[in-house]
């Protein structure tokens, strides 16, 4: 049976049908932490597209970036060649034992902690580090969501003055500050003073 609808209803139905198709990715819900649409920024074979530091701490094996310090226990940073302002970055991380690592975005650098903080001597994974760990920027549910000795998916979004972290699909930390406004490379960290190994795979980033 053919139904005759008033022109206003027809226009509303047409708009509702088209709207999901015309929204750009940046307009989608920011808590959708399972997106597979983010472009890869690691080719799985070598460190093309990354600024390799002089320390021999960063290697690639079986589609994984491995950061592993030696007896000198130096700080080392692996940065993307490309700079990002507003961005969603996502990776899977695995480690065993005590490590001190992190993901940094923007300039000045804002860090998302991975592992044990040198200053606090306790695990602060997915909390924001700003030369301290602001109470409102701590990921207090991270321990219950973290899979020990397994791959964990961490997603970081920098959008304007708001920074958000998800762990395994759950939002765990949000920090707001105007102090980290300039575009910069995304960085992965090995902290000094600890003999450690950390692995990263499926590294993706989408400018917003």
pLDDT by position in tens, the chain (length 208): 444 444 444 443 333 333 333 333 333 335 454 568 899 999 999 999 999 999 999 999 999 999 999 999 999 999 999 999 999 999 999 999 999 999 999 999 999 999 999 999 999 999 999 999 999 999 999 999 999 999 999 999 999 999 999 999 999 999 999 999 999 999 999 999 999 999 999 999 999 9
Q: Could you tell me if residue 147 is inside a domain?
A: yes
Q: What contacts 47, CB < 8 A, 6 or more positions away?
A: 58, 60, 65, 78
Residue 105: its pLDDT value, please?
Answer: 98
Instruction: Read off the CATH number of the domain in which 79 is found.
Output: 2.60.120.560
Do the domain assignments include residue 16? no
Query: What's the pTM value of the predicted model, to 2 decimals?
Result: 0.83
User: In this structure, is residue 66 part of a structural domain?
Assistant: yes
Domain assignment present for residue 9? The answer is no
- Number of domains composing the chain: 1
List the domain range (segments joined by +) for residue 137: 29-207
Q: Is the residue at 169 inside a domain?
A: yes
Phi, psi (deg, nearest 5) at residue 166: -115, 145
Specify if 21 maps to a domain: no
**Looking at residue 32, what is its pLDDT?**
53
Does residue 46 fall inside a structural domain?
yes
Q: Residue 73: what pLDDT?
A: 95
SS3 182: strand
The answer to whether residue 7 is domain-embedded is: no
């Amino acid at each position: 049976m053919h139904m005759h609808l008033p022109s206003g209803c027809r226009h509303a139905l047409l708009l509702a049908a088209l709207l999901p198709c015309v929204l750009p990715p940046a307009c989608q819900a920011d808590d959708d932490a399972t997106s597979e649409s983010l472009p890869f920024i690691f080719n799985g074979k070598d460190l093309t597209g990354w600024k390799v530091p002089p320390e021999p701490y960063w290697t690639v094996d079986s589609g994984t970036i491995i950061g592993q310090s030696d007896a000198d226990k130096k700080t080392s940073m692996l940065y993307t060649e490309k700079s990002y302002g507003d961005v969603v970055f996502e990776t899977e991380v695995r480690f065993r034992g005590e490590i001190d690592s992190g993901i940094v975005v923007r300039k000045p650098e804002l860090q998302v902690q991975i592992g044990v903080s040198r200053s606090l001597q306790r695990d602060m994974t997915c909390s924001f580090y700003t030369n301290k760990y602001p109470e409102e920027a701590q990921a207090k549910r991270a321990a219950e969501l973290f899979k020990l000795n397994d791959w964990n998916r961490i997603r970081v979004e920098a959008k304007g003055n708001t920074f958000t972290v998800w762990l395994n699909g759950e939002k765990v930390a949000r920090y707001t500050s105007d102090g980290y406004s300039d575009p910069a490379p995304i960085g992965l960290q090995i902290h000094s003073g600890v003999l450690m190994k950390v692995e990263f795979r499926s590294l993706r980033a989408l400018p917003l």
